[in-house]
Amino acid sequence: MDRQRRNKLVKIVQEQLEPKGFECVDVDWIASQRILRVFIEKCGVESTGVMEADANVLIDMNDCVIATRALNESDVVEREIEGAFTLEVSSPGLERPLRTIEHFAKFVGSQVEVKLSEAQGDRKHGVGEVLSVDEGSIINLETSRGKWSFPLDLVIKANLVYDWNKA
């Protein structure tokens, strides 16, 4: 799913979920299995990315049921996706997706993995710490190969990288 269509779908889902107290962080379309995954978090509550500190913002099974029902009761998502599909609603998890410039700004100092649609510098893929977000939606990472900057518009996929060795 291209970035424009994904953003449109996120907006449609967000309009359905916001009255229920949820924000749509991202959607993922698995075409081969016809699955639409919707990642949600609670509205108006800032996540720190640290599980112990985020007990009040964690999404539980009941939240997923409420969000699923809200989306199933409306046909707006079905109008966007032709044919039958499976809807899955979940928390964004520890390695949450980063879709907007606000997401990257919120996680300055965190490790992320990024895949781009076209090379910036000499690469399309990298892992590093988010240093800053500049005007014009430019994201700056510090990677093992040095500083790497790229515009948000080129991001195909990005997510936090959780250090499983610290767990």
Same domain, yes or no, for 113 and 35?
A: no
Same domain, yes or no, for 22 and 63?
A: yes
Give the integer Cα–Cα distance in Å for 21 and 84: 27
User: What is the model's pLDDT at position 36?
Assistant: 95
* 121 falls within a domain: yes
User: What is the model's pLDDT at position 46?
Assistant: 59
Give the integer Cα–Cα distance in Å for 158 and 115: 6
Phi and psi for 16 in degrees, rounded to 5? -80, -35
Q: What is the CATH number of the domain that holds 26?
A: 3.30.300.70
Last residue of a domain, one of 64, 90, 116: 90
Give the integer Cα–Cα distance in Å for 74 and 69: 9
pLDDT per residue of the chain (167 residues) written in tens, 0 to 9: 787 888 999 999 999 999 999 999 999 999 999 999 999 999 876 555 554 445 556 899 999 999 999 999 988 898 899 899 999 999 999 999 999 999 999 999 999 999 999 999 899 999 999 999 998 899 999 999 999 999 999 999 999 999 888 86
Burial class from Cβ neighbours inside 10 Å (0-12, 13-18, 19+) for residue 20 reads middle
